[in-house]
């Protein structure tokens, strides 16, 4: 499953696009499968990579007009073009500028990009989103989809204030949608010998301790030159030190994302289909803290659920279910939520999402019977 990162800052000219492009190039050349989404109607990432637009393809704004759940309209995949080995791009188009107004009264408009990404994200290791220079609906869509917001900041007096507005927006996204985005500040355009920059950077690290990326990207005139040529700076000057900076920063961030993924994955794998029904466990919670409710048990939390207890407090819950398709949710500390371990979701009448599971006719690995056949790990 890919990790989605949004490059965001409402300020223009602070190196969002430059960072998104160079992270993409650096990590694609390290054999990550990378998808870059140009969400800025100005299309700077598209131009900066020298991408050739195919006029016959559907555009990103056409894709975002419709939710993928209805099956109407083009898919995100249809818009993609391959721009380098290992790097695919969803190019921007001018229609994105009008999209905010068109979507204004549409329910679930903040989740549109997230829904489309959920259909394709497993095919990429990393998905980067280059946001427009404002905190409008497109940026909100990116934040709702993303695991992490990467905020490029130039260490200068008052630079921290711009970052603060992004952090406020992230807080707002959490309140509106319940989606929590981690935030990182990436120091860019750092002049090595500038004493003011040094002081500002130290202040930034002190103010937002733990949030500032350790690696910094120095200032270089090569960035503007490379962008004009539709290339990354490593493609016009492989030995440029600023290219080395981006490679270092991207490498460090990627290994952090991978570790976070490794940590998160086994934590909660969500609902599994097993012989004769469905099953789940959680390594950090007690069985009474997380309950299962869905069409298979009349939406009554834990109705019919059997708790199988193992060694050292481990447990697994099992519910016998006939083959078929079911909508469900978990109830965690009294709050209903879709299954975080399951990307398949469907919008319900309340405008939130239910998870979706298909219980197959038979599962060959297990003997069909009750949950007692399950082994606890």
Ligand X SMILES: Nc1ncnc2c1ncn2[C@@H]1O[C@H](COP(=O)(O)OP(=O)(O)O)[C@@H](O)[C@H]1O
**Sign for the pseudo-dihedral over CA of 229, 233, 239, 241:** positive
236 near ligand X, judged by CB under 6 A: no
44 near ligand X, judged by CB under 6 A: yes
Strands 126-130 and 87-90: unpaired
| 293: region left, alpha or beta (phi > 0 left; psi from -120 to 50 alpha) | beta
Comparing CA positions, the residue from 123, 105, 124, 130 lying closest to residue 48 is 130
Residues 160-199, one symbol each (x = binds ligand X by CB under 6 A, - = not), give ----------------------------xx----------
**Residue 168 beta carbon to ligand X: minimum distance, rounded to whole angstroms:** 18
**Residue 145 beta carbon to ligand X: minimum distance, rounded to whole angstroms:** 18
Distance between CA 81 and CA 35 in Å, rounded? 10
**Residue 17 beta carbon to Mg ion: minimum distance, rounded to whole angstroms:** 3
**Region 12-31 residues binding Mg ion, contact defined as CB under 5 A:** 16-17
Side-chain half-sphere of 118: how many Cα atoms within 13 Å?
Answer: 20
Nearer to Mg ion, 44 or 112 (CB): 44
DSSP 218: B
Distance between CA 186 and CA 26 in Å, rounded? 16
User: Residue 219 binds which entry of Mg ion, ligand X, none, with Cβ cut-offs from 5 to 8 Å by kind?
Assistant: ligand X
Contact 255, 214 (CB under 8 A): no
11 near Mg ion, judged by CB under 5 A: no
Selected range binding ligand X among 99-107, 217-225, 289-297, 328-336, rule: CB under 6 A: 217-225
Comparing CA positions, the residue from 7, 305, 298, 18 lying closest to residue 131 is 7
DSSP 283: S
Q: Residue 351 corresponds to which tokens in the numbers above?
A: 């405008």
Distance between CA 45 and CA 21 in Å, rounded? 7
Contact 8, 150 (CB under 8 A): yes
**Residue 13 beta carbon to Mg ion: minimum distance, rounded to whole angstroms:** 8
**Residue 60 beta carbon to Mg ion: minimum distance, rounded to whole angstroms:** 15
220 near ligand X, judged by CB under 6 A: yes
**Residue 223 beta carbon to ligand X: minimum distance, rounded to whole angstroms:** 4
Nearer to Mg ion, 16 or 84 (CB): 16
229 near ligand X, judged by CB under 6 A: no
**Region 36-55 residues binding Mg ion, contact defined as CB under 5 A:** 44
Residues 11-30, one symbol each (x = binds ligand X by CB under 6 A, - = not), give -xxxxxxx------------
The residues binding ligand X (CB under 6 A) are 12-18, 44, 133, 188-189, 217, 219-220, 223-224, 227, 242
């Amino acid at each position: 499953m890919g990790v989605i990162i949004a490059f965001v800052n409402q300020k223009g000219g602070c190196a969002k696009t430059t960072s998104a492009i160079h992270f993409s190039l650096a990590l694609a050349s390290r054999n990550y499968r990378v998808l870059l989404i140009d969400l800025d109607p100005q299309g700077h990432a598209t131009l900066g990579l020298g991408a050739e637009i195919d006029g016959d393809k559907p555009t990103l704004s056409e894709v975002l007009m419709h939710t993928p759940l209805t099956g109407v309209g083009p898919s995100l995949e249809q818009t993609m073009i391959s721009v380098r080995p290992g790097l695919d791009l969803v190019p921007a188009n001018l229609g994105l500028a009008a999209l905010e107004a068109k979507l204004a009264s549409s329910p679930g408009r903040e989740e549109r990009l997230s829904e489309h990404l959920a259909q394709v994200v497993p095919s990429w290791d990393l998905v980067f989103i280059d946001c427009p220079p404002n905190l409008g609906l497109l940026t909100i869509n990116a934040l709702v989809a993303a695991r992490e917001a990467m905020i490029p900041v130039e260490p200068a007096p008052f630079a921290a204030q711009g970052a603060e507005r992004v952090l406020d927006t992230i807080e707002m996204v959490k309140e509106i949608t319940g989606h929590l985005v981690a935030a990182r500040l990436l120091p860019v355009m750092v002049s090595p010998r500038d004493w003011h920059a040094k002081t500002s950077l130290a202040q930034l690290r002190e103010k937002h301790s733990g949030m500032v990326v350790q690696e910094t990207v120095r200032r270089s005139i090569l960035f503007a030159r490379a962008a004009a040529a539709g290339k990354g700076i490593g493609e016009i000057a492989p030995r440029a030190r600023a290219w080395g900076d981006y490679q270092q920063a991207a490498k460090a961030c990627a290994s952090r994302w991978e570790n976070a993924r490794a940590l998160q994955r086994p934590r909660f794998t969500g609902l599994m289909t097993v012989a004769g029904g469905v099953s789940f466990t959680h390594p950090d919670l007690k069985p009474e803290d997380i309950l299962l409710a869905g069409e298979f048990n009349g939406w009554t939390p834990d109705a019919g659920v059997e708790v199988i207890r193992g060694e050292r407090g481990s447990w697994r819950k099992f519910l016998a279910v006939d083959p078929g398709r079911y909508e469900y949710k978990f109830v965690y500390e009294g709050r209903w939520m879709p299954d975080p371990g399951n990307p398949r979701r469907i919008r319900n009448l309340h405008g939130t999402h239910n998870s979706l599971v298909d219980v197959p006719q038979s599962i060959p690995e297990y003997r069909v019977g009750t949950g007692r056949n399950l082994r606890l790990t």
